[in-house]
Amino acid sequence: MKRSRILAASLAASLATAAFVPQAAADVTRGELLTTSCFSCHSIDGTGNMPGLVGYPRDLMISQMQAFKDGSRPGTIMNRHARGYTDEEIVLMADYFSTIE
C-alpha cells in the first residue's frame, strides 16, 4: 500500500513537471538553439578576442556567414562552421543575434 502511494505521488509530480516543459521549449526559438555554441568563442558580453555577436546587424551577419561559407572570406575556423549551416539556418541565426541585447 505504501509503495502504491509513493508510486502515485511520483507519477503525479512527474506529470506536473511535464506540463511546464512544452511552454519552456516553445519559448526557445530555432535561431537561439543554433547559436548556443557561438558563445564558446564569441563572448556574450563582448569581452573576448572574437567579435561580439549580441545585437549584430542582421544583413551583415548573413553576408559575412555567406562569405565564410562560399570561401570568399578566409577564416581559420568560421569557414568550416559556416559550411555546416543551410542558408535558412544562417538567416535564423542572424535574426536571433540582431534582436538580443
Classify residue 39 by burial, with Cβ atoms within 10 Å: 0-12, 13-18, 19+.
middle
pLDDT in tens, 26-76: 567 899 999 998 988 887 777 778 888 999 999 999 999 999 999 999 998
75 φ/ψ sector (left φ>0, alpha ψ -120 to 50, else beta): beta
pLDDT of residue 11: 45
DSSP 51: P
Is 31 within 8 Å of 93 (Cβ atoms)? yes
**CA gap 31, 96 in Å, rounded:** 6
pLDDT at position 26: 55
Report all structural domains of the chain as residue ranges with CATH numbers, in order of start: 30-98 (1.10.760.10)
